[in-house]
Structure 1
């Protein structure tokens, strides 16, 4: 790992930790205030943004500025901006609060998961590709659990190397598969491919967190027919570095796919290529 890339993983870690600290000082009532339409909660257009999204996005932006990171920065709900001189050295994609509804509804409990994710792409072209993600991280903003990945180095959960479960066959009685339930088409797909089977299908409501669980082995696979790409760059590196598989519904690894922040694509994240292939066969 090059020195600059080593520095960027520290930047990712620092930004995520700053987001965690900031959210602890924010009351749920204040953070849950709706401030805009079309920015979060699953859809690309018909959705909601809350105050906590805005605040965490600004905190991460300020952290990158303070550390003089030269990048093109895209934060969910904001316009892309240039930090430092042109041309930028990196492209950074941020979802400051994935699982906003979970945060808004948690009450006096820890609630369902809500997380923050960051992906750092090397810039070699006017376009970005999944294979260009050099450093990435996701933090559970309830527990402070932190997934970090460096290209060619590995994936780490709370500083300890982590790996996928290694499961090669679908068995929802013994393992957990997460399927995105927000989209009707995906719900129908899940009912079809697991028809008649008893077992564990879940959807906690924070896809960045859910996909990270594939990397650390708690979940065997994640399936979504319309996954938003804002957090998928992070998930690609985290799961790949943990030994997992990430493919589209045509069976193609996402590595050579163009990364477009404000877009969606069908994905299967799995512990192994064997497992993703079986899930794909069921879908087909």
Structure 2
């Protein structure tokens, strides 16, 4: 790549090059077995290899930019920009041989995402959701918008909730099984965040507190006309704390009802 001298921070083309490199690793390793880390989340050798490649490339081309990755970080003191990366968002389906996973990366400045990309490398379906602040959201080259469904009764919702999640949303999950047209729990958050932005589904709900995929999801969904908040309905920023109170990404029309359900679980 070698473009750091020409740019202050990575542009879409640079991030897309990183994504294609990650995609080659994912496609070669698709279906490989992984292990569970101490926090209960899964990891494979492919996750680690991609994360290392991102850190190595950014450190060469943009040495003054921090990288915050799920499988390792490189923090630069007083960095003006930060790269957030989830090397394989959807490791569980990736290990199971289910093609609902993605590479997720974003550039953050002053706690807000500037540019973001979610890349699905699946052969025969390869696609990229991407956005730059103020310039709209796209699926490959086509602009996208969130759906216009305003009722959960006709909505599809992806909910990433698990037994030992930091926020117990079991009651919310039960309600959605009864109220929503479809309620999924595929453990592939960024992928379904992209589908929210392009109007294929109406919302995603995350019961964790990690941030790696969150800036990309926020920017792409908001640029597509949707909303992104934490579980309590508060705006989300990405500072040194590196944790958040879960998140909800939606078309905006079903957002308040989802936030209300989540708040009931947190009280």
> What band does the TM-score fall into relative to the shorter chain?
0.7 to 0.9
CA deviation string 1:60-114 (max 9, x = no partner): 23333454464111121213344xxx753411111101111212121xxxx2411
- Deviation of the 1:199 alpha carbon: 2.6
Q: Which residue is equivalent to 2:215?
A: 233
Q: CA RMSD in A?
A: 2.6
Separation in structure 1 between the aligned mates of residue 83 and residue 70 of structure 2, nearest angstrom: 11
Question: Contact 1:116–1:138 at 8 Å: present in 2 too?
Answer: yes
Q: After superposition, where does 1:42-121 map in structure 2 within 5 Å?
A: 45-68=39-62, 70-82=64-76, 87-106=78-97, 111-121=98-108
Q: Which residue is equivalent to 1:10?
A: 13
TM-score by length of 1: 0.78
Question: Contact 1:33–1:50 at 8 Å: present in 2 too?
Answer: yes
- Deviation of the 1:232 alpha carbon: 0.7
Partner SS for 2:116? strand
Partner SS for 2:21? helix
CA deviation string 1:107-149 (max 9, x = no partner): xxxx241111011012x5xxxx2xx210011112323211111
- Deviation of the 1:265 alpha carbon: 1.5
Q: Which residue is equivalent to 2:184?
A: 202
Q: After superposition, where does 1:1-284 map in structure 2 within 5 Å?
A: 4=7, 8-26=11-29, 28-29=31-32, 32-34=33-35, 37-38=37-38, 45-68=39-62, 70-82=64-76, 87-106=78-97, 111-122=98-109, 124=110, 129=111, 132-142=112-122, 143-171=125-153, 174-183=154-163, 185-191=168-174, 193-194=175-176, 196-197=178-179, 199-254=181-236, 257-259=237-239, 262-272=242-252, 274-283=253-262, 284=264
* Structure 1 runs, 4 residues or longer, greater than 6 Å off: none
Question: Contact 1:93–1:261 at 8 Å: present in 2 too?
Answer: no
Distance 1:201 1:260, change over 3 A: farther
Partner SS for 1:52? helix
Question: Contact 2:66–2:75 at 8 Å: present in 1 too?
Answer: yes
CA deviation string 1:245-265 (max 9, x = no partner): 1122332232xx344574241
CA deviation string 1:152-172 (max 9, x = no partner): 10111012111101222222x
Q: Which region of structure 1 is more displaced relative to structure 2, 47-56 or 179-188?
A: 179-188
TM-score by length of 2: 0.83
